Amino acid sequence: MEKRKDRYDTPKKKVALDVTDLNNFTYDMSRCIKCKGCYWVEHTYMPGINFSVRCPSNYWNDFDSYGAFGKMRIGLAVAEGRMEWTDKLLEIIYADPLCGACDVGCKRNLDLEIGLTLEALRIKAVKDGAGPMPAHKKIAKNIATKHNQFGSIHDNRKKWVTKDIKVAAKADTIYFAGCSASYVNQDIAKATAKVLNAAGINFMLMEDEWCCGNTLYSVGMIDEARELAKRNVEAIKKSGAKTLVTSCAECYRMFKVDYPKMLDISTDNLGFKVVHFIEVADEAIKKGSLKPNKPVDIRFTYHDSCGVSRLCDPWTPWKGERGWMGMVSPSLKRRRGTMGLYSQTRNILNAIPGAKFVEMPRTRENAFCCGAGRGTKEAFPDLANTSAKHRLDEVKHVSAEVLVSACPWCKSNFNQAIKENGDAVKVMDISELVLASLEI
């Protein structure tokens, strides 16, 4: 083929979506244009002067360095060895719930891998001996010794299972309750199990459930997180379950996205299907096996938890080359957060009789994260608190009495902020709302 004169014959560079090497993302870091699509609510959906941003990190601290656009510049300096690890650098990298708002915002126009870059930065921080934060090390110790985030007694993990809950010894479905619902937000585990029972879905529990490792992976402790992933995946395969159900958005994201990422396989090759309670309930309502008939007299709104929305597109490993004009080959299907459980959730919420569902100004991929996730609340409680209070302002703006979410970590964080504010808002998990609408 004749060489075209109107373009360079650019040498191709190898590149992979591999977060263990920050250099894979130098292109992404160097192409940030400061449009701040990572920060503002997508302009088509911009609700007005109030509630106009979607980045908890840059909402908490106004300096550009706390936004993804600042972090891309800082990340490049780290990758090129121009910046030493300091307390301020660690704060900027870790004071961030990695909620994915920046990633979907950037992929509105530019397709830069912002989320993976931020993960790779943390992995490098750990590899360089600078990260994670002291609070994270404590969690890591808890997970290593007690197999849960909190350092609670491992044997108490299944204490949430009450007599009115039917758990099968063997079933196609396995319910992974996660640390929060097992120890702190047991109402969520109970509600999930009861709804599964009501829908006629037989489920079993893991013989010995361990933490999913969300915090480990999220703070860059990839070696520890990978070991946990291997252990959990093997245990589930061994159980014979075909479907894993979670009620926690963070566990869901871990199993569906970050486990395959760490194990260098696609989500489809995990050996079992990963679903969130939302998907199960939506399907059961559609099929008629779950009948929300009991009126629930509340005015409520819904908070799209990040792990079940913009962060949960399935994972496919990719490696290839980048050449002229930055084009990559083989073709890469970008994860843009379009496969979030947005419509499934609304199907459920609109099916609750007697209740008035009102949307907040920022919804779906534009939702403002509660600020608790991925190691943030433990290391930067003020950020988590500020974010939750800001989101609660939005709840009050639409005059909702109840805030529904789909993640126990969101629930805990909102509840704490409500307590401090003295607000009259009640927080419910979506499983609890569905349970309240069932005549059982």
Partner 1 sequence: MSIQKQAYNALEAVVGSKYISDDPVICEGYRSGPGGYESGLGYERVMTKIPGAVIMPKTTEEVQQIVKICNRYKVPYVPYATGFYGPRSHCHVENELLIDLKRMNQFEIDEKHFYIVVGPGVIYSPIQQEAFNKGAYVVIGGGGAQASAIANLIGDGWSPLSHRIGLPHRRILGTELVLPDGELVKMGSLAHGDDPFWGEGPGPDLRGLLRGFTGLRGCLGIVTKMAIKTLPFQPEPLIPTGISPNTALALPQKRVKWVNYQMPSKAAQVKAMFEIGKAEIAGAVTKVPLFWRAIAKAECKEEFWEIWGKENEDTIKNFFIVRVLLIGYTSEEQMEYDENVLNDIMKELGGIPRPTKPSDESWLKNADSAGMWLMCGSYVSVDYIIESLSQATVHGEYYAELKRKYTPPLMPDYGDPGWFQSFELGHQGYSEFLVYWDQDEDTTGVDHFYLETSKMNIRERFYTSLLGPHQPLFLTGPKYGPNYHEWLLKVKNEFDPLWVCHPPVPLAHDDFVNRAEWMKPLKDWESPEKLPMPEWK
Q: Is the peptide bond before 132 cis (omega within 30 degrees of 0)?
A: yes
Q: Is the peptide bond before 47 cis (omega within 30 degrees of 0)?
A: no
For 140-194, give the DSSP string: HHHHHHHSSTT---GGGGGTT--TTS---SS-SEEEE-HHIIIII-HHHHHHHHH
Q: How many residues does the chain have?
A: 440
Q: Which is nearer to partner 1, 32 or 404 (CB)?
A: 32
Interacting residue with partner 1 among 191, 328, 360, 384 (CB under 8 A): 328
* In the complex, least distance from residue 53 CB atom to partner 1, rounded to whole angstroms: 10
Interacting residue with partner 1 among 337, 371, 373, 375 (CB under 8 A): 337
Structure tokens at 273: 């299907």
* In the complex, least distance from residue 3 CB atom to partner 1, rounded to whole angstroms: 12
Query: How many angstroms separate the Cα of 6 from the Cα of each of 17, 265, 321, 358, 428?
Result: 30, 40, 22, 54, 60
* In the complex, least distance from residue 386 CB atom to partner 1, rounded to whole angstroms: 13
The yes or no reply on residue 63 touching partner 1 (CB under 8 A) is yes
Which region, judged by CB under 8 A, interacts with partner 1, from 33-41, 149-157, 350-358, 391-399? 33-41
* In the complex, least distance from residue 27 CB atom to partner 1, rounded to whole angstroms: 8
List the interface residues with partner 1, window 100-129 (CB under 8 A). Answer: 104-105, 107-111
The yes or no reply on residue 265 touching partner 1 (CB under 8 A) is no
The yes or no reply on residue 40 touching partner 1 (CB under 8 A) is yes
Report which residue type is found at 141: K
d(C-alpha 160, C-alpha 156), whole Å = 8
Report which residue type is found at 260: P
The yes or no reply on residue 396 touching partner 1 (CB under 8 A) is no
The yes or no reply on residue 382 touching partner 1 (CB under 8 A) is no
d(C-alpha 432, C-alpha 184), whole Å = 15
User: Which of 359, 385, 358 is closest to 371 using CA atoms?
Assistant: 385
The yes or no reply on residue 162 touching partner 1 (CB under 8 A) is no
How far is C-alpha 165 from the chain's CA centre? 28
HSE-CB for 409 with a 13 A CA cutoff? 30
The yes or no reply on residue 436 touching partner 1 (CB under 8 A) is no
Which region, judged by CB under 8 A, interacts with partner 1, from 65-73, 127-135, 144-152, 191-199? 65-73
x/- string (CB under 8 A) for partner 1, residues 3-22? Answer: -x-xxx-x------------
Q: Which is nearer to partner 1, 45 or 150 (CB)?
A: 45
The yes or no reply on residue 359 touching partner 1 (CB under 8 A) is no
Interacting residue with partner 1 among 1, 3, 14, 43 (CB under 8 A): 43
Q: SS3 for 88?
A: helix
What burial class does residue 11 get, using C-beta atoms within 10 Å of its C-beta: 0-12 exposed, 13-18 middle, 19+ buried? exposed
The yes or no reply on residue 1 touching partner 1 (CB under 8 A) is no
Are 186 and 192 within 8 A, CB to CB?
A: no
Q: Which is nearer to partner 1, 95 or 434 (CB)?
A: 95
* In the complex, least distance from residue 231 CB atom to partner 1, rounded to whole angstroms: 35
Structure tokens at 169: 């010894």
Binding site for partner 1 (CB under 8 A): 4, 6-8, 10, 30-37, 40, 42-49, 52, 62-67, 69-74, 76-77, 83, 86, 88-89, 92, 104-105, 107-111, 324-329, 331-332, 334, 336-338, 340, 342, 364-366
